[in-house]
């Protein structure tokens, strides 16, 4: 029989952790054990949770311990809601407990789809085999009409970005309705393709009530959408999995991290970012995972960010998910991004594209010039000497980088 092994970090009294771990293992499975008659023990043994390890930490003023508990697969159905409720349902409300990781046995992993396209499939779609991809974000669209959206999309696409995504706060509205955004996106990107030879992909924000999402996503596909942006943590991971598994939808899915911090930001409570924005998003089918980088306007600690990226790209049975370090990204950060995330990442910027002194098209070009410079082993300063877009971007944003953590 399969199992999941959950790793937790507990904060509490020194030498209390073994007992606490035993209490969790029983409380979240068969309930009680020592007082049971032998026959019942034999019947229930295969459902009983097991303490796999208890390691009290040596250092630090506040006692803490890493504990591992195995939960047999006969106790739950093989889906994220059941597994999360088993390993971190009531327990998430019970004091200082952080869920660091869940290890799935191979038979359980087989029940999850992973990304439909993955890094290689997305590279094929945008026809970019080697370098990091470049994505820009619509900004300031709320309160604006389709004409404004069309012009902003055209400028971004003319800058040579590979992908454009909706802002995650753009929902269905009268001024820029979902269907019209897709249709206009198709027209503009086709028109730009005829000029530049490059077909940019547009990820439209799939939003609205859960009951209407599948039908809406299929309609998006029929209207010619390239990809879906999805605020997965406002809906739930299982909804992402449903979208991924539907062959009639069949579109790349970009998972936005909005609301993820509500469950993951605390060092002592909630879920680890590497599980939340890394392992779970990959298992349930995101082709892209956006997360704050260590050095932009909304920053996470570098170690956390690298552990998210590792979960998205390590060797596993699933295709790889594109890491998308985001928030406050500008061209001067490109060398650091590529050093930390390698070439298999997406460089994603809203303000860093639109805020260029010569507009969004120049903003996209400055990013591409920075990416090309790094790929060719040239410093940004040397490259900027012959590329006015990059030069102006560096004058505005400088070249210094400081990371959190
Ligand atoms: C962590 C997600 C970042 C995001 O979605 C977004 O809109 C970033 O915008 P900028 O690049 O900070 O302007």
Give the mean pLDDT of the chain. Answer: 96
What is the edge-to-edge ordering of all strands in the sheet holding 97-104?
50-56, 64-72, 3-11, 97-104, 270-271
- pLDDT, residue 401, reads 59
> Residue 215 and residue 242: Cα distance in Å, rounded?
12
The first and second tokens of residue 196, run together, are: 């530049």
Ligand 1 atom nearest residue 137's Cα: 7
Fold of 3-109: Alpha-Beta Plaits (3.30.70)
> Among the options 90, 216, 319, 391, which is catalytic?
90
Ligand 1 pocket mutation pick from 161, 281, 327 by most atoms within 8 angstroms of CB: 327
Q: Is it the case that residue 402 has pLDDT exceeding 70?
A: no
Mean pLDDT value across residues 210-238: 98
> Residue 70 and residue 73: Cα distance in Å, rounded?
9
Quote the percentage of the chain above a pLDDT of 70.
Answer: 98
- pLDDT, residue 403, reads 62
Which residues, other chains included, contact 376 with Cβ-Cβ below 8 Å and sequence gap of 6+? none
Which residues, other chains included, contact 318 with Cβ-Cβ below 8 Å and sequence gap of 6+? 109, 112, 113, 114, 115, 118, 282, 283
Ligand 1 pocket mutation pick from 234, 345, 350 by most atoms within 8 angstroms of CB: 350
* 291 contacts 322 by C-beta, under 8 angstroms: no
Mean pLDDT value across residues 118-131: 98
Mean pLDDT value across residues 232-242: 98
Q: Is it the case that residue 1 has pLDDT exceeding 90?
A: no
What global pTM score does this model have? 0.96
Ligand 1 atom nearest residue 352's Cα: 11
Look-up of token digits 């859960």: 210
Say how far residue 147 (Cα) sits from the centre of its chain.
Answer: 31
β-bridge partners, 50: 70
Mean pLDDT value across residues 324-338: 97
Tell me, in angstroms, the distance from the centre of ligand 1 to residue 239's CA: 23
User: Which residue in 198, 126, 130 sits closest to 372, CA to CA?
Assistant: 130
User: Which one-letter DSSP state was computed for residue 277?
Assistant: I
* Total residues found in the chain within this entry: 405
Q: Is it the case that residue 189 has pLDDT exceeding 70?
A: yes
Q: Whose CA is nearest to atom 8 of ligand 1?
A: 327
Q: How far from 401 is each of 192, 198, 335, 341, 398, CA to CA, in Å?
A: 34, 31, 10, 15, 9
Confirm whether 48 is a catalytic residue. no
- β-pairing, 270-271 vs 253-255, is unpaired
Which residues, other chains included, contact 404 with Cβ-Cβ below 8 Å and sequence gap of 6+? 294, 295, 299, 300, 301, 302
- Could you give the dihedral angle defined by the CA atoms of residues 181, 186, 187 and 190, in that order, rounded to the nearest 10 degrees? 150
Mean pLDDT value across residues 47-76: 93
β-bridge partners, 22: none
Q: Where in the chain is the domain with CATH 3.30.70.150?
A: 3-109
Ligand 1 pocket mutation pick from 348, 349, 356 by most atoms within 8 angstroms of CB: 348
Tell me, in angstroms, the distance from the centre of ligand 1 to residue 212's CA: 27
* 403 contacts 295 by C-beta, under 8 angstroms: yes
User: Which one-letter DSSP state was computed for residue 252?
Assistant: -
The first and second tokens of residue 262, run together, are: 């509500």
Q: What is the pLDDT of residues 164-182, one digit of tens each?
A: 999 999 999 999 999 999 9
Tell me, in angstroms, the distance from the centre of ligand 1 to residue 87's CA: 32
Q: Where in the chain is the domain with CATH 3.20.20.110?
A: 118-397
| Terminal C-alpha separation, the chain | 41
Tell me, in angstroms, the distance from the centre of ligand 1 to residue 255's CA: 13
> Residue 176 and residue 45: Cα distance in Å, rounded?
58
Q: What is the pLDDT of residues 99-117, one digit of tens each?
A: 999 999 999 999 999 999 9
Fold of 118-397: TIM Barrel (3.20.20)
User: Which residue in 8, 94, 17 sits closest to 56, CA to CA?
Assistant: 17
């Amino acid at each position: 029989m399969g199992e999941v092994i959950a790793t937790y970090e507990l904060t509490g009294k020194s030498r209390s952790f073994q007992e606490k771990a035993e209490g969790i293992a029983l409380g979240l499975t068969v309930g009680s054990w020592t007082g049971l008659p032998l026959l019942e023990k034999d019947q229930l043994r295969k459902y009983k949770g097991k303490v796999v390890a208890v390691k009290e930490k040596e250092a630090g003023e506040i006692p803490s311990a890493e504990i591992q508990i195995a939960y047999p697969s006969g106790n739950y159905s093989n889906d994220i809601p059941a597994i999360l409720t088993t390993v971190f349902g009531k327990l998430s409300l019970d004091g200082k407990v952080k869920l660091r990781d869940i290890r799935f046995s191979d038979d359980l992993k087989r029940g999850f789809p992973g990304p439909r396209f993955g890094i290689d499939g997305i590279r094929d779609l945008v026809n970019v085999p080697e370098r990091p991809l470049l994505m820009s974000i619509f900004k300031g669209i709320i309160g604006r009409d389709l004409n404004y959206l069309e012009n902003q999309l055209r400028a971004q696409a003319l800058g040579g970005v590979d992908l454009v995504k909706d802002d995650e706060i753009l929902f269905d509205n009268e001024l820029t309705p979902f269907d019209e955004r897709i249709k206009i996106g198709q027209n503009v990107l086709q028109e730009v393709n005829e000029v530049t030879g490059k077909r940019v992909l547009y990820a439209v924000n799939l939003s609205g009530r859960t009951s209407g999402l599948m039908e809406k996503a299929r309609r998006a596909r029929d209207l010619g959408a390239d990809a879906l942006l999805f605020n997965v943590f406002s809906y739930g991971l299982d909804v992402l999995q449903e979208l991924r598994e539907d062959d009639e939808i069949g579109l790349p899915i970009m998972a936005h991290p909005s609301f993820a911090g509500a469950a993951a930001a605390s060092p002592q409570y909630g879920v680890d970012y590497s599980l939340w924005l890394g392992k779970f998003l990959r298992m349930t089918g995101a082709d892209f995972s956006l997360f704050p980088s260590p050095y932009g306007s909304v920053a996470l600690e570098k170690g956390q960010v690298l552990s998210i990226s590792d979960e998205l790209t390590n060797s596993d049975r699933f295709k790889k998910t594109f890491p998308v370090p985001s928030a406050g990204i500008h061209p001067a950060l490109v060398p650091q991004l590529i050093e930390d995330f390698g070439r298999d990442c997406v460089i994603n910027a809203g303000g860093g594209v639109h805020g260029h002194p010569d507009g969004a098209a120049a903003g996209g070009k400055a990013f591409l010039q920075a990416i090309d410079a790094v790929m060719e082993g040239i410093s940004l300063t040397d490259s900027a000497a012959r590329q006015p877009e990059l030069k102006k971007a560096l004058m505005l944003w400088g070249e210094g980088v400081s990371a959190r953590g």
